[in-house]
Amino acid sequence: MALLPVTEALERLLDGVTALPGERVPLADAAGRVLAEPVVALRTQPPFDASAMDGYVARFCDVASAPALLEVIGVAPAGRGFSGTVGEGQAVRIFTGAPLPEGADTVVIQENVRDLGNGRIELTEPTAKGRNVRRRGLDFGQGDVLLEKGRVLDAAALSLAASANHPALNVVRRPLVAIIATGDELLPPGSALGPDQIISSNAYGVAAASQSIGALALDLGIAADRQEAIAALVRQAVEADADVIVTLGGASVGDHDLVHSVLTGEGMQLDFWKIAMRPGKPLMFGRLGHIRCIGLPGNPVASIVCSQLFLKPLLARLGGRDHHQDMRTARLGTAMRANDLRQDYVRAVVREDAGTLVATPFGIQDSSMLRMLADANGLIVREPFAPAAEAGAECSVLMLR
């Protein structure tokens, strides 16, 4: 099977992918979720003309000039308005959020009033008509569309939905990613390792990449290099109704690389296998019913890079989110040799120098070196057959953070 270009692989992986169905969740559980439908106001806010300040509410004609004497006939705290009518030469003590009583139209702030005692006040500064009043519907009216479908629910959006009297919202269901590591040599962190064993690390990075785009991660553990062991975990993923199955390792061409045969034996329709990229050549993709199956390479750097390039865009689309890779233009910090037929993603440190981004690749690019990946904040993207480039040459960089 010929190596597939990265752009074509991504197009095929995303072909036909749409947002998952919506589900209704309580407002308290909706933070970070994506709206599956617009939010329409169920009420008008504010529902009445309200005071915007603590002070005294009166008729404009009685506070248009100063000094002026007014009789205080009552109090209007928030949540309990004054039920009477404000007449000529009268005022009501009012607090922020309280409704304006009948007859009054202007609020004088308390700093502009002197209390004379015996229910009388003196106005020390004139007040403009309608000052310090929040008119009914100032924020929104009943029936207004407040939030559009696809909005990620942040603090402001959630507060707005609450003020519009929504106790729950319809949001896109979060994609469920079932993660299966494979390999006799792998043990979980904290294990006592034998002389031929290593720690299984890829699942944690893939889970974090999935969660960063709003998905749920289900780590099904490590399958031994036996077809029945891998098949058992694949069936667990199907029973869990996963939207995506991610396998780690076992998708190359060695005698113990069994993932392809197991998945096809379980009914997966293979779409592509092997990409013209470095790291990540053994990437595999297919469909098992409605489930998307991605076979990631076993090398940890390749696994994380492929998660950035393929898994996160897939999960974003399933989750109803916009997702764009953060591509920047930079200058090379060192010379780079000519590239071969594979698109290269070179780990690099990207810094700003006199207003220009400078990307300096690490000298070693082995796909097993996680420390270098953790230190990198960008990937220099080298197109297939790119010629040698001198230091200072322009390059494209995919920012990682």
Tell me if 302 sits within 8 A of 367, measured CB to CB: yes
Q: Tokens 């989110």 appear where?
A: 321
Strand 176-182 to strand 133-134: parallel, antiparallel, or no bridges (unpaired)? unpaired
**pLDDT category of residue 250 using cuts at 50, 70 and 90:** confident
Task: Identify the DSSP state of 386.
Answer: P
> Which neighbouring-strand residues pair with 115?
121
Q: What per-residue confidence (pLDDT) applies to 343?
A: 97
Lowest-confidence region among 70-74, 329-333, 363-367, 379-383: 363-367
Q: What is the pTM of this model?
A: 0.90
pLDDT tens digits, residue range 343-394?
A: 999 999 999 999 999 999 999 999 899 999 999 999 999 999 999 999 999 9
Backbone angles phi, psi at 312, to 5 degrees: -65, -45
pLDDT tens digits, residue range 16-35?
A: 999 999 999 999 999 999 99
Lowest-confidence region among 3-7, 93-97, 250-254, 397-401: 250-254
Q: Tokens 């729950």 appear where?
A: 168
**pLDDT category of residue 269 using cuts at 50, 70 and 90:** very high
Question: Which two tokens mark 69?
Answer: 């004497």
* Whether the predicted pLDDT of 327 surpasses 90: yes
Residues 6 or more apart whose Cβ sits within 8 Å of residue 61? none
